[in-house]
Structure 1
Amino acid sequence: MQKVQTTTLNRATLMFPLALVLFEFSVYIGNDLVQPAMLAITKEFGVSSSWAPSSMSFYLLGGACVAWLLGPLSDRLGRKKVLLTGVLFFSVCCLLILLTHNIEQFLALRFLQGIGLTVISAVGYAAIQETFEERDAIKVMALMANISLLAPLLGPVLGAFLIDHVSWHWGFIGIAVLAFLSWFGLKAKMPATQPTVVKQPLRYIFSDFKRVYQNKRFLGLTLALPMVSMPLMLWIALSPVMLVEELGLSSLQYGLAQFPVLGGLIAGNLVLIKIIDRLALGKTVMMGLPIMLLGTLLILAGIFWRDYFLLCLIIGMTLISFGEGISFSVLYRFALMSSEVSKGTVAAAVSMLLMFSFFFIIEGVRILYEQYHLLAYGLTCFVLIALWFSFPRRMLQQVLLERKAKGEF
């Protein structure tokens, strides 16, 4: 594998991640704008509202199913070629969904749109990690996360507006336009990297994945990622049903409820950027996860203290999202660097574990929610964060001790 030359973060080098984050925003709002519209979409297609979370889970499944190919392909053809092709594919799929006539066709196109998630995670993020030095790469990831968080902040409000005044179809037209704009920015500003591995037969791809997945450190650090990020993903998937159908909030109130929760994630990312140069790398994770555990306990308390459930839910999710903000980018960096295999393949392996975890957990909780309602949501959030304190925490502690022994801050 070739050694990729890294650079420092400055105004000139920032243009590439800004172009990439415009596509990331398009991909994320492709979910966050659609989710609040799903109640209207299921009604239009004549199916139960229990199908609403499936829009998100099939979106995630689409990303998981092609990660094994896109990451290694970008190692062999270059990140830029694969990224630009993926952006165009996503844009076309956003326009094709306008032609769907039933829920099956709709979910099939959502599956294809989900490939955009892998383009970001398995190709775009790998390019960021290779382009910038260690702490600058983490800062860029946190900065991109904050900009892309405009999607879940604006998405519910825009989705509510589309439902009340026009049609959900216009949302996908707007998303396609944004993705096309990002394509031009990436074509102009993304560094033209050379392939990081020589072209090899297809069997070598599977050999590389085998090496990655046999690495216990990789598994421990990567499995931590869905544990940390899943509660917020469940919030995005289920909050339309919880807040609108079960608690009786209006579409506008539902949109406003997103602001403190996602504001916590923005605050966490800003704190990470501010303090990352002062602390040993990984210290913020050890600070963030206890905060997240406290948030899950508050949600559980609200389930049994029903008069204050909404307040407990909002405060608990805000604590969870803040903890995720100061933890996720660092965990992602550690996971990506835990294997010596080419970074496109490692990023694809991370993406597959993330996306498949998201799909199966969201679909599982969707089924459990029909039977146990809010209790299913609260217990799932608690179990996910509690599990982090087992094998993933031990693996992170081992990494921190090794970095300290090497004199790495």
Structure 2
Amino acid sequence: MTQQTHATPASGEGTGTPGEPRRDPRLLVTAASPSGWLKALRRNLRGGELGPVPVIIGLILIAVVFQSMNDRYLSAQNLSNLTVQIAAVGLMTTGVIMVLLLGEIDLSVGSVSGLSAAVLAVLAVRFGVSEWVAIGAAVLVGLLVGLLHGVIFAKLGVPAFVVTLAGLLGWQGLHLYLLDSSGSVNTSANGAIAMLTQTYFVPVVGWSLVIVTVLLYMGTVFAVERRRRLAGLPYKPLPEVLFRSALLAVPLVGGVWVLNQYKGVPLAFLIFVGFVVALDLILRKTRYGRMVYAVGGSSEAARRAGISVDFIRISVFGIASMLAALGGIMLVSRNFAASVSTGGGEELMMAIAAAVIGGTSLFGGRGNAYSALLGGLVLGAIASGLLLLQMESSVRFMITAAVLLIAVILDAISRRGRKTHARGGA
């Protein structure tokens, strides 16, 4: 990362002519130039900070391979369908990431999504409740389930693996009970539930979102770096801020342009990305987010620092199950029904796999919300390509397993590299 420091001139400190800002020689800084940015990137890679680089390279390779085998792979229609398909599991993955940051695991996200889907369909169809109210009730059920898991884990000391394994079985049983002998409840194709995955925005909305997003990013970064500069702290110079803004704008412009070639930007994908961005801001910019990382790094150290470890654990499991419930709602919206198989198939495996493939460490304390987006895109890209090639699910599972194993190996190598770098090794 390129950083530059200006400090108030003082005798005997730094270099430079009188009146010019001086750089604190104790700080690791990089020149604000392309060569400086490349040096910073190489330094991070040597230190085990791989970031999203392996995932991005993997996405490019997947696109090249499948496009060479089927020229419809990168068509606007297929890419638009892909963004809608990954929304449900992507929301579940976002919740799984929160739990993984604690160094724990949640095996119940699939069952919780199925239970919430059943609650949604039963309330909206059998009891005639407003669909919006039914959606709110389904989300509330997910939140309460997660809080229950968190309390049992944090207060009673039952391992999270056991608690959520019991939840996987128990909530799946309640899911089946709610749907009873019918096994399925069909929802309206025109109501609020269907709208979540069937709504596409006209092109002007997509372009407006791009402009607003880039301007908000630039304005926020400028404000933050200005405060750092005035405080005498390391800050990003103007060229780097503009360069980062351009890097953000390129995929946004490209993505919106492609999606507008079909039906426009889908609401389902915006909801997914919105939760990813919101969670990322919470984790990076709030005290709560820093406490989550602290507990994941070392719960005992966090406790000694005055952090309420129990509160963090309970709240994280609540958030994870709430996001799983939202994923279940998306599944109902996309299929126009809640059935006994909703959330009970591959959703759990894919949610955990996407989190790890996206870059979240299984060892806790490392990862970010964008892992859900990157991991979801990887798995969605593989599934979409194999579907176009009319290959069976068995092939997809084997390929996903291989990609997951590679991601875990990279994580282990990254951890080893960080340890070596911290000891001053080459």
Determine if the TM-score, normalized by the shorter chain, exceeds 0.5: no
State the structure with bigger RCO (CA 8 A, min sep 6), 1 or 2. 2
Max radius of gyration: which structure?
A: 2
Instruction: Sort the TM-score into its range (normalised by shorter chain).
Output: 0.3 to 0.5
Q: Which has more helix, going by share of residues?
A: 1
TM-score under structure 2 normalisation? Answer: 0.32
